[in-house]
């Protein structure tokens, strides 16, 4: 599986519409998604998947150079419902279709049903005329892994060993399936991710590969913050690990924004899901700058505004120093974050082959 920081032939996103995920009928979320799409489209072809009922809306919000393609979905998390792609050095590519169960299925998944989401991997391979490997007996979301293209997989124990995914497999069996499915050789297990992250703490919100032998790690500097301890535990694992090539891993610390909380108005704007509120007033959202997209020419990262203006700026400078050859574009992402994820979660690259 090629790394995200390698070249892409394009990027896929899904137009949001679910009113229990996106406040006030997803109107602001759609605008934020459009900004992300435009920023990525500076360097690669973006395809926005939209339901029939949202097709015209998508077409209206997006410039002509972004392709809109009808596709059904249960929500808008392209990272997690797309196939992963594996390539070889002969110019071959295959999609790998893992099973998607809405981050935990009937155990602790976030919605039901998820059949439309789970069908997207197959449909995308069909759309791009890419053959597919069926890995649907294994539950995996794209956001729960980060790879370096050299055979290393980063993941979190909280997520990959959760009871809602592959409860009958041991840690060793999960490692084996992961390596088999992704063409990898080594798994580095971080203990967890960002506290409160509903995906059982996907790795893409706390730590991702930015280059060979180099990761971005979300970093909490406030000792009183519940996140403080976990960031240090992750750092410790990384400092004591080598990647699949045997090299040490350089860790770039990306300081977190100040805590971001749901407002009363935002909670008011969300439909109920199964008779319950999706979010509560003053609920802390799992904000992190690591949840960014590494495009061909741009790195698109979240900004949170308000009292985080300074933090936004500082994070963008650090990211710029890691990707000096790319344009770093910050997109105001509060309306994406409210849905439960961020820019990395709503995008998926298709690698060059």
Give the three-state DSSP class for 58. helix
* Among the listed residues 353, 352, 350, the one whose alpha carbon sits nearest the alpha carbon of residue 127: 350
Task: Count residues near a copy of itself (CB under 8 A).
Answer: 19
**36: its two tokens:** 């992300």
Which CB, 64 or 223, lies closer to a copy of itself?
A: 64
Alpha helix stretches (DSSP H) within 184-263: 228-239
Q: Which is nearer to a copy of itself, 70 or 264 (CB)?
A: 70
How many residues does the structure list for the chain?
A: 353
CB nearer to a copy of itself: give 116 or 253. 116
Near a copy of itself in 60-89, by CB under 8 A: 64, 67-72
Q: Which stretch binds a copy of itself (CB under 8 A): 102-110, 126-134, 197-205, 255-263?
A: 126-134
User: Of the candidates 52, 91, 274, 275, which one interacts with a copy of itself according to CB under 8 A?
Assistant: 52
Is residue 136 at the binding interface for a copy of itself, with CB under 8 A as the rule?
Answer: no
Task: Using the minimum distance from each CB to a copy of itself, give the nearer residue, 55 or 261.
Answer: 55
- Going by C-beta distance under 8 Å and a sequence separation of 6 or more, which residues neighbour residue 90? none
What's the min distance (Å) between Cβ of 21 and a copy of itself?
A: 19
Structure tokens at 61: 């919000």
CB of 126 to a copy of itself, least distance (A): 5
The residue among 70 and 317 lying less far from a copy of itself, judged by its C-beta, is 70
Minimum CB distance to a copy of itself, residue 49 (Å)? 9
Q: How far is the CB of 32 from a copy of itself (least distance, A)?
A: 22
List of residues 6+ apart from 205 with CB closer than 8 A: 143, 193, 194, 197, 199, 218, 286, 288, 290, 291, 341, 342, 344, 345
Residue at token pair 């992300």: 36
Q: Which of 42, 122, 314, 320 binds a copy of itself (CB under 8 A)?
A: 122
Q: Does 284 bind a copy of itself (CB under 8 A)?
A: no
SS3 content of the chain, % helix, strand, coil (to 5): 30, 25, 45
What is the SS3 assignment for 215?
A: strand
Rounded Cα–Cα distance for residues 2 and 86 (Å)? 7
Residue 65: cis peptide before it, omega within 30 degrees of 0: no
| Minimum distance, C-beta of residue 292 to a copy of itself, in the bound complex (Å) | 27
Q: How far apart are CA 271 and CA 20, in angstroms?
A: 4
Rule CB under 8 A: say whether 309 interacts with a copy of itself: no
Yes or no: say if 288 and 294 are a contact pair by the CB < 8 Å rule: no
Closest contact distance (angstroms) between CB of 288 and a copy of itself is: 33
For position 253 contacting a copy of itself by CB under 8 A, the verdict is: no
Q: Rule CB under 8 A: is residue 134 a binding residue for a copy of itself?
A: no
Rounded-to-integer distance, Cα 353 and Cα 346, Å: 23
Contact 92, 83 (CB under 8 A): no
Identify which of residues 46 and 184 has a Cβ nearer to a copy of itself in the complex: 46
Instruction: List active site positions.
Output: 345
Nearer to a copy of itself, 114 or 304 (CB): 114
Kindly write out the interface string for residues 102-121 of this chain, putting x where it contacts a copy of itself by CB under 8 A and - elsewhere. --------------x--x--
Q: At its nearest, how many Å lie between a copy of itself and the CB of residue 226? A: 41
The kind and range of the H/E element at 119 are helix 115-127
Footprint of a copy of itself on this chain (CB under 8 A)? 52, 55-56, 59, 64, 67-72, 116, 119, 122-123, 126-127, 129, 131
């Amino acid at each position: 599986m090629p790394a995200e920081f390698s070249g892409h032939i394009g990027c896929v996103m899904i137009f949001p519409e679910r009113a229990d995920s996106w406040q006030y009928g997803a109107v602001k979320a759609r605008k934020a998604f459009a900004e992300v799409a435009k920023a990525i489209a500076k360097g690669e072809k973006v395809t926005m998947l939209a339901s029939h009922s949202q097709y015209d809306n998508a077409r209206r919000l997006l410039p002509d150079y972004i392709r809109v393609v009808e596709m059904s979905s249960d929500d808008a998390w392209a990272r997690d419902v797309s196939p992963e792609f594996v390539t070889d050095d002969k110019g071959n590519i295959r999609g790998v279709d893992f099973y998607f169960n809405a981050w935990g299925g009937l155990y602790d998944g976030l919605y039901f049903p998820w059949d439309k989401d789970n069908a997207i991997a197959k449909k995308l391979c069909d759309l791009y005329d890419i053959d597919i490997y069926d890995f649907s007996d294994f539950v995996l979301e794209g956001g729960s892994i980060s790879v370096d293209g050299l055979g290393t997989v980063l993941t979190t124990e909280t997520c990959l060993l959760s009871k809602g995914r592959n409860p009958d497999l041991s840690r060793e069996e999960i490692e084996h399936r992961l390596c088999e499915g992704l063409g990898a050789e080594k798994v580095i297990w971080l203990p967890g991710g960002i506290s409160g992250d509903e995906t059982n703490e996907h790795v893409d919100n706390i730590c991702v590969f930015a280059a060979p032998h180099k990761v971005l790690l979300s970093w909490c500097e406030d000792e009183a913050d519940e996140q403080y301890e976990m960031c240090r535990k992750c750092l410790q694992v990384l400092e004591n690990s080598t990647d699949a090539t045997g090299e040490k891993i350089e860790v770039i610390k990306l300081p977190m924004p100040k805590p971001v909380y749901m407002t009363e108005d935002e909670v008011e704007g969300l439909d109920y899901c199964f008779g319950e509120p999706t979010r509560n007033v003053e609920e802390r959202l799992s904000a992190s700058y690591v949840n960014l997209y590494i495009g061909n020419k741009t790195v698109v990262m979240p900004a949170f505004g308000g009292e985080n203006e300074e933090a936004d700026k500082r994070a963008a400078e650090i990211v710029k120093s890691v990707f000096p050859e790319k344009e770093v574009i910050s997109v105001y992402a509060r309306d994406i974050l409210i849905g439960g994820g961020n820019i990395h979660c709503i995008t998926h690259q298709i690698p060059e082959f």
